[in-house]
Amino acid sequence: MEPRDNPYTPNAGAQPPALVGRDTELDAFDVLLARLERGATEQSMIITGLRGVGKTVLLGVFREKADERRWATIEAEITKNSEFGPRIGLLARRALLQIAPKARWEERARRAAAVLKSFNFTVSPHGSLSLGLDVEAAEGLADSGNLSEDLTDLFVALGEAARAHDTGVVFLFDEVQFLAVRQLEALIAALHKTVQRNLPITMVGAGLPQIPRLAGDAKSYAERLFKFPTIGRLSHAAAVEALVTPAWTLGVSYTDGAVEAIIEYTQGYPYFLQEYGKIVWDEAPESPINEEHVASAQSLVEATLDGSFFRVRADRTTELELQYLRAMAELGSEPQKAAEVARVLRRTSEQLGPTRSRLIEKGLLFTPGYGLAAFTVPQFDRYMIRSHELAIPPPARRGPRR
Ligand SMILES: Nc1ncnc2c1ncn2[C@@H]1O[C@H](COP(=O)(O)OP(=O)(O)O)[C@@H](O)[C@H]1O
Ligand SMILES: [Mg+2]
């Protein structure tokens, strides 16, 4: 088919031509905004899922929905290396200017600007941030030096400004697994207060299944403030739709066998569906796309995924970390016990503990249960097996190798 017309979107965060299988989350988001607009409260959500399942895309659609309702929408990707306080200050500034342009600020918005100024001074006392807000810092607010308290003051002030201007504020945070516990706790404390005050300000997050582990009050607040929906591979029907609809609207069809072969290979994972669709479209000489076209495209699909989706993850690892991943793959695609992985590498779990922790920190593994680790990237086991050798030959295997 003509590459220029190719409708598929195998790129991180790229909105697919057919966004399927996410109605529950989309409806929940509508309900959240509608209720906050009416001064009611509603649980927000932190969406979790493996890489490539469509979390970033979903946040993008949430943003569009919030824009349509004329909310102030602030998107940010959390990274480990940027300073949280100053970053939040800048995001809050954006929120305030979206609530209303400075020239139209009424009292509550000017007040929020004053609190923001105080907040910024507290988190970066050397004034690296020039906000250009033309206000005096509010006295006695957002200046305790305790992040939870100061962020609470800031969110309350922003929420009040939003309400005074008949709008709301939604922060859309991606990669929330990179928040430090202290940062997540501060966000939770701030939102806990704004919910008590029925203010139209909220935060929706997305990230890997490994959300920072909270304790005590923070934990019980988090459970009340957020739902934690998990998104994953598409159902069979949704996967068919994701694959077939984009082509159909351009007059190109698939045979049933072709569709089934692609769904089997991709297991309904959105990123893989987009990649397969893209390549088979370019490779197939005519419509309908049939099983032979699918079969002959497969090695190119695999090479493309290896070179992009998988390799960028593996590239950030040391040799020992790579061996750890490879040993896990040896054991299969399911979550694996630390002791089992250590056995394959002929070491003890204690010796490998730091390696395992670093892989979790880097977002390559997560812990679905005590003592277990699993890949955050779907089909990563298959990739490891085809691309890397085990440095030490494995000891006698227990289960059959896949
Ligand atoms: N609901 C969906 N249906 C079909 N394709 C999707 C869907 N959601 C996401 N995609 C595709 O999946 C890929 C990964 O999406 P992305 O949002 O970057 O995933 P994540 O943030 O979870 O890693 C993109 O190529 C995107 O176009
Ligand atoms: Mg993403």
Q: Whose CA is nearest to atom 23 of ligand 1?
A: 52
Choosing among 1.10.287, 1.10.8, 1.20.1250, 2.60.40, the CATH entry for 234-313 is 1.10.8
> Near ion ligand 2, which residues have CB within 5 Å?
55-56
324 phi and psi angles, rounded to 5 deg? -65, -45
To test ligand 1's pocket by mutation, which of 271, 275, 308, 364 has the most ligand atoms within 8 angstroms of CB?
Answer: 271
Ligand 1 pocket check for 19: Cβ under 6 Å: yes
Q: Whose CA is nearest to atom 15 of ligand 1?
A: 54
Q: Whose CA is nearest to atom 16 of ligand 1?
A: 54
Q: Whose CA is nearest to atom 9 of ligand 1?
A: 54
Give 124's Cβ-side CA count (13 Å radius): 16
Q: Whose CA is nearest to atom 6 of ligand 1?
A: 270
Ligand 1 pocket check for 11: Cβ under 6 Å: yes
Q: Which helix (H) or strand (E) holds 148?
A: helix 147-164
Ligand 1 pocket check for 57: Cβ under 6 Å: yes
Name the nearest CA neighbour of 109 among 94, 119, 96, 120: 96
The residues, any chain, with a CB within 8 Å of residue 226's CB and separated by 6 or more, are 43, 44, 45, 46, 205
Tell how far the Cα of 92 is from the centroid of ligand 1, in angstroms.
Answer: 28
Task: Quote the pLDDT of residue 212.
Answer: 79
Tell how far the Cα of 160 is from the centroid of ligand 2, in angstroms.
Answer: 31
Ligand 1 pocket check for 208: Cβ under 6 Å: no
Q: Cα–Cα distance between 402 and 400 in angstroms, integer?
A: 6
How is the chain split into domains, by residue range? 23-227, 234-313, 317-387
Percent of the chain with pLDDT over 90: 87
The residues, any chain, with a CB within 8 Å of residue 15's CB and separated by 6 or more, are 9, 57, 60, 61
Q: How confident is the model at residue 174 (pLDDT cuts 50, 70, 90)?
A: very high
Tell how far the Cα of 135 is from the centroid of ligand 1, in angstroms.
Answer: 43
pTM, rounded to two decimals? 0.94
Task: Quote the pLDDT of residue 228.
Answer: 94
Ligand 1 pocket check for 277: Cβ under 6 Å: no
Ligand 1 pocket check for 51: Cβ under 6 Å: yes
Q: Which fold has domain 317-387?
A: Arc Repressor Mutant, subunit A (1.10.10)
The ligand whose atoms approach the alpha carbon of 12 most closely is 1
Residue 400 has pLDDT above 70, yes or no: no
Ligand 1 pocket check for 48: Cβ under 6 Å: no
Task: Quote the pLDDT of residue 369.
Answer: 86
3-state secondary structure (DSSP) of residue 227: strand
Task: Quote the pLDDT of residue 132.
Answer: 74
How far is residue 22 from each of residues 352, 370, 386, measured CA to CA in Å?
39, 30, 32
The ligand whose atoms approach the alpha carbon of 57 most closely is 1
Tokens 């390696």 -> residue: 355
Q: What is the CATH code of the structural domain delimited by 23-227?
A: 3.40.50.300
Q: Which helix (H) or strand (E) holds 213?
A: none
Ligand 1 pocket check for 270: Cβ under 6 Å: yes
Backbone dihedral region for residue 379 (phi beyond 0: left; psi -120 to 50: alpha; all else: beta): left
Q: How confident is the model at residue 370 (pLDDT cuts 50, 70, 90)?
A: confident
Digit-coded pLDDT (tens) for 51-69: 999 999 999 999 999 999 9
The ligand whose atoms approach the alpha carbon of 16 most closely is 1
Residue 203 has pLDDT above 80, yes or no: yes
